[in-house]
Amino acid sequence: MCGIVGYVGDKNCVPIIIEGLKRLEYRGYDSAGIAVLNNGNSIILKNKGKVSFLEKSVEQAGLSAHIGIGHTRWATHGIPNELNAHPHCNTDQSLMLIHNGIIENYQVLKTMLKKSGIKFLSDTDSEVIPHLIDSFLKKGHDLFEAVRFALNEVEGTYGIAVIYTKEPNKIVCAKKGSPLVIGIGENGHYIASDVNALIAHTKQVVYLEDGEIAEIFADRFSAKTIEDEDIQKEIIELTMSLDEIDRGGYQTFMLKEIMEQPESVRNSMRGRLIFEEGTAKLGGLESVLDRLSHSKRIIISACGTSWHAGLVGEYMFEQFLRIPTEVEYASELRYRNPIINEGDTIFFISQSGETADTLAAMKEAKRKGALCLAICNVVGSSIARESDGGVYIHAGPEIGVASTKAFTGQLTVLALITILLARRKDMSLADGKALYNEFIQIPEKIQKILSLNEKIETIAEEFKDSKNFLYLGRGYNFPVALEGALKLKEISYIHAEGYPAAEMKHGPIALVDENMPVVFIAPKDSTYDKIISNIEEIKARKGRIIAIASEHDTEIDKLVDFTIKIPDTIRMLMPILTVVPLQLLAYHIAMKKGLNVDQPRNLAKSVTVE
Ligand code: M6R
């Protein structure tokens, strides 16, 4: 969840690291730090808070060097303060290290190191690693070997980068469970936890795999396993551009990403729908298509917003494929000793492709013999690489911590998979073509909803001081209620709950009074009459109602306080539309409260620790 950047080469590493950290700040933003080597000396600067504070200290210090590492932190062990910020070092400050992940046996290691007289300055788990490496340096090993030996003693997850005054021309880095990528430049090499930090400098990258360690110099790099086997790494050419990770004139990344959805959804479906055959073509599933089509059971596993997308997928698969489908939190699946039978397929959904629980659940399911498929946004991410096949979302980089365009992209991909499999089962050509026709109109319909932005902002003004919210929906729109509530709570810090509308009577209705806003997702579908009854029940208890309704529904205006009217589509595609006004509502409420929507408190973009 933290961000790592490093550089060794001809250029001044300081602006490269600061710029890279800013691009990674969405991953963690509690504190930041930098360490460089200069004329045989180490210099460390770190602070609590944003990278911009670090930038000021760096400028004041006139820091400049050709080798350095930087870190932006999301606290796990120890509060966010200067002492706990990375880099951490050994006792004589000759060795500096940055770390993402969690060292699970750090207490044991710390006790052992303390016994040998080492004093610890921070409360972090990470600080044990430089001291452990130092103990191997003292036995006469070089940096690479010392790091390798130290990592063999460590339990847990890590992405690390280390520099050492006595070997001042190299960065040693290693990975297990936390992403790490090497960038290859001209007369310089980079390391980062995320390609966003490198893309301004190079498109040639090498992904480290779990259990691999590398050393990078200005003009070369080499890698081994931590068991000491030589390995050849493949160089990959990135296709993303710098523009994709800039705000592009918007005040926030979140708004940019909401507004991008007509295009991002178009990109998710681009070249994948075939009208003549009324089906979809998904290259990443071709090699497993027979096995997938004959699945006896499908499990969808994910976390957070991606889990909500999975719930929509369950409705799609059961309606069109008639394959029993279950949706599991990845954090539960991984520890539940799940019963995996022959013929089970598990889809793992993840925007980042790096979520620790999802990745671990996938590894566990693979061990048990399931067909493991990925639906990821980040190309080349760990979950994508670990899978037996899958589909990229192609929504483009999502920087705002609150997931928006990735969610609509995930729904688009799930719908494409549904069409593809349904047409191999019993969906007719005519029905496939009808679906195609609905599908291709979705981007335009999202655009129409986005044109309601100002109206939604006015509604947000009404509700910005509310303390609680209820979101209610039925069928395909029940997961959208969950997602609407999650969006609101994560960026506005207002308590919000999503429920299936019918469940309201089983408890939550007790909360309803004139201070309780209730958002109904109520398009004209087969559950419309039922949801209208639920609206009446809330009305009778003086709840204030906002309804997401179909554009031709004039009846609902008489029942509710505010309506947001959206175009119609078929049920399975409806969530791609109904979620958009909920994203905007959450966005405007949070902005009106003066909050940082891109970097909400306590959160990080990808949760790479348990
Ligand atoms: O990268 P992933 O899709 O695996 O992330 C899963 C969740 O951490 C993520 O969706 C989280 O809930 C977002 N903050 C939601 O906006």
Q: Report the candidate in 266, 322, 271, 267 with the shortest Cα–Cα distance to residue 293.
A: 322
The string of pLDDT tens digits covering residues 452-498 is: 999 999 999 999 999 999 999 999 999 999 999 999 999 999 999 99
**For residue 607, is it within any domain?**
no
Which residues have C-beta within 8 Å of that of residue 143, sequence separation ≥ 6? 95, 133, 137, 162, 164, 166, 167, 170, 172, 215
C-alpha dihedral, 473 to 578 to 373 to 180, nearest 10° = -110
Determine the atom of ligand 1 nearest the C-alpha atom of 401. 14
Strand bridging mode 468-473 / 495-500: parallel
Share above pLDDT 90 across residues of the chain, in percent, rounded to a whole number: 83
Q: What's the gap between Cα 57 and its chain centre?
A: 30
- Please, what is the average pLDDT of the chain? 94
Confidence grade of residue 261 (pLDDT, cut at 50, 70, 90): very high
Catalytic residue at 2?
yes
CA-proximal residue: ligand 1, atom 12 (nearest): 304
The string of pLDDT tens digits covering residues 12-48 is: 999 999 999 998 887 667 899 999 999 889 999 999 9
607 lines ligand 1 (CB under 6 A): yes
The count of C-alpha atoms lying within 13 angstroms of the C-alpha of 94, restricted to the half-sphere facing its C-beta, is 12
Confidence grade of residue 1 (pLDDT, cut at 50, 70, 90): low
CATH number of the domain that 522 lies in? 3.40.50.10490
Q: Report the candidate in 68, 513, 31, 446 with the shortest Cα–Cα distance to residue 261.
A: 446
Residues 196 and 305 reside in one and the same domain? no
Which of 413, 440, 467 lies at the terminal end of a domain, its last residue?
440
359 lines ligand 1 (CB under 6 A): no
- Can you give 411-470 as a three-state secondary structure string? HHHHHHHHHHHHHHCCCCHHHHHHHHHHHHCHHHHHHHHHCCHHHHHHHHHHHCCCCEEE
**For residue 604, is it within any domain?**
no
Cα-Cα-Cα-Cα dihedral sign, residues 157, 160, 166, 167 = positive
The string of pLDDT tens digits covering residues 79-104 is: 888 899 999 999 999 999 999 988 99
Give the three-class secondary structure for 47.
Answer: strand
Confidence grade of residue 344 (pLDDT, cut at 50, 70, 90): very high
**For residue 605, is it within any domain?**
no
Residues 161 and 89 reside in one and the same domain? yes
Flag whether pLDDT at 339 surpasses 70: yes
The string of pLDDT tens digits covering residues 463-474 is: 999 999 999 999
**For residue 506, is it within any domain?**
yes
Residues 213 and 101 reside in one and the same domain? yes
Residues 113 and 167 reside in one and the same domain? yes
Residues 81 and 229 reside in one and the same domain? yes
Average pLDDT over residues 321-344: 91
402 lines ligand 1 (CB under 6 A): yes
Predicted pLDDT of residue 6: 98
CA-proximal residue: ligand 1, atom 9 (nearest): 304
CATH number of the domain that 224 lies in? 3.60.20.10
**For residue 411, is it within any domain?**
yes
Domain with 473, as residue range(s), is: 446-595
514 C-alpha to ligand 1 centroid (Å):
33
Catalytic residue at 605?
yes
Predicted pLDDT of residue 233: 95
Beta bridge partners of 522: 549
Q: Which two tokens stand for residue 415?
A: 């719908």
Residues 220 and 294 reside in one and the same domain? no
Do 516 and 496 contact (CB within 8 A), yes or no? no
The string of pLDDT tens digits covering residues 561-602 is: 999 999 999 999 999 999 999 999 999 999 999 999 998 888
How many structural domains are present in the chain? 3
Do 205 and 238 contact (CB within 8 A), yes or no? yes
Q: What's the gap between Cα 544 and its chain centre?
A: 33
Residues 550 and 475 reside in one and the same domain? yes
- Amino acid in the structure at residue 209: E
600 C-alpha to ligand 1 centroid (Å):
13
Residues 427 and 481 reside in one and the same domain? no
Radius of gyration of the chain measured on its C-alpha atoms: 25
**For residue 428, is it within any domain?**
yes
Which residue's structure tokens are 């190309």?
379
406 C-alpha to ligand 1 centroid (Å):
9
Q: What angle do CA 104, 108, 109 make, to 5 degrees?
A: 90
Gap between the Cα atoms of 336 and 53, Å rounded: 44
Question: Which residue in 2, 89, 372, 376 is the catalytic one?
Answer: 2
